[in-house]
Structure 1
């Protein structure tokens, strides 16, 4: 506990308090009335929007019937760590707070703390691996919906995420699982997409990330869950994984154990069914060669 970061400590308290309230059969309103707090305070503590002071935590734990000395001591230590003053991170500055969703900011925070990241995508290269040109081309497809400065800030956020991840690859294991269509969709044109594949191939070939492909020919329902990311915050706590998912219109962070475990199981199943790393790299090499020789794309019937 004492070695935790404020991010991990804050999450530990949030989940512990939520579970304790559920076990006690209490509503958030009942807690607010007993503690003489506003309902919004209880909600913000459980959501992780604010940290709880140790002086507030003690009577709350007593109300929940938590009396085990070690458990109380650990949670109080976590509360003190969670309230430690930190240098404001780039994604918490006013401009980014205005244009990034709460879930996206929390995703970035968890990526920075993660010991393992598992990313499953059926449409695009994951954001933390996107080159600047690929990200600009991808975001440009939605130009009518994204006015400046939001578009520029989103692009800056993706590049900051990428640089942060690349700088700490020695401390985090990254598993990237992509459906074959991701490799076939030349976002930004042949040159931009070839550059993107070159960069992704480099980090995969150097062993900095684990990269696998799910082929079209796989006789398995691979797209039922859509794209998602799993961040493990501890190598020892099997319940430390956090799920991030988006559907194009909104995004969310999910910490429910049943949901995260189900997505992890799904990821592991597909990982073992996919092409292994050497085969995936060979496929990328073939794809790059075709892009760089500007071979025509496969014929796609036009809609009449």
Structure 2
């Protein structure tokens, strides 16, 4: 990819300085992209192809696909701490055109702050009740999981013009005082503020299913549907609970069912901003 970009720039007769001036970038940004030191976003690649005079739809589509694949994070180094179904999900999450995520118990991983992630993971693993000799190993595992969640968030925001991400959260998630158990009530305040900030990102839609909605199809638990572009084919469904994880692309009828469930939940959900006044002073004004 980087070699092709350098070749296209040379063919256009432009120097790195010319490119930087035309796009109002720094020359160092152009250089880092051509060296492969930074992942290139869809917007930046489209801008480069335009000034290089690349107009063939097939070439543009090919380069955009290559760039998106290159931006995928390789999470296989964490196969010792994640189930293969979750690793399979992560493999495709970075390729999705559209993410539909409903969560019933906790803030979805890519929307979490580090401290919220740490508090919830420690609670689930019951770290405070473990023998002292076992805690360092579990704490290390938790920190690795947090790094993965933060990387997923970075990739989501990096893809701000390439992927639409819809999140629907059960209202109870926002009212759960995570942090109170350790004397840190401000932790949840910061998480709510972070959610409000992410909801302003153009490609991220954060909605809340209010308790007043009554019984709904999401009572069976959280799930994620990834809509994948060609040549990756069908959508992927991912679910997890205390019994384990499920990741499937081979049951289109089941995937379609959960797409319909998500549509029903979206129809009953409200924008996060509309619910904030009801959450008291824990959210931003």
TM-score range, shorter chain: 0.5 to 0.7
Match of 1:224 among 219, 226, 233: 219
How many residues matched?
204
Q: What is the correspondence of 1:95-110 to structure 2 with a 5 Å cutoff?
A: 96-110=78-92
Q: 1:118·1:230 contact (CA, 8 Å) conserved in 2? A: yes
SS of the aligned residue for 2:212 comes to coil
Structure 2 segments unaligned to the other structure (5+ residues)? 1-64, 128-136
SS at match of 1:149: helix
Quote the offset at 1:258 in angstroms.
Answer: 0.7
Structural mapping, 1:101-250, within 5 Å: 101-144=83-126, 147-189=138-180, 190-234=185-229, 240-250=234-244
CA displacement at 1:151 relative to structure 2: 1.9
Q: Tell me how far 1:231 sits from its aligned partner.
A: 0.5
- Candidates 56, 63, 75, aligned match of 1:91: 75
How high is the TM-score relative to the length of structure 2? 0.64
Change (3 A) 1:173 1:235: farther
Q: Mapping of 1:45-60 within 5 angstroms?
A: none
Q: Secondary structure at the match of 1:202?
A: helix
Deviation at 1:225, TM superposition (A): 2.6
Deviation digits for residues 164-188 of structure 1, max 9, x if unmatched? 1121122100111111111111212
Structure 1 partner of 2:48: none
- Alpha-carbon distance in structure 2 between the residues aligned to 1:107 and 1:244: 7
Going from structure 1 to structure 2, the CA distance change for 1:148 and 1:132 (only over 3 Å counts) comes to closer
CA distance in 1, matches of 2:141, 2:165: 28
Measure, in 1, the Cα distance between the counterparts of 2:163 and 2:155.
11
Match among 289, 301, 304 for residue 281 of structure 2: 289
SS of residue paired to 2:100: strand
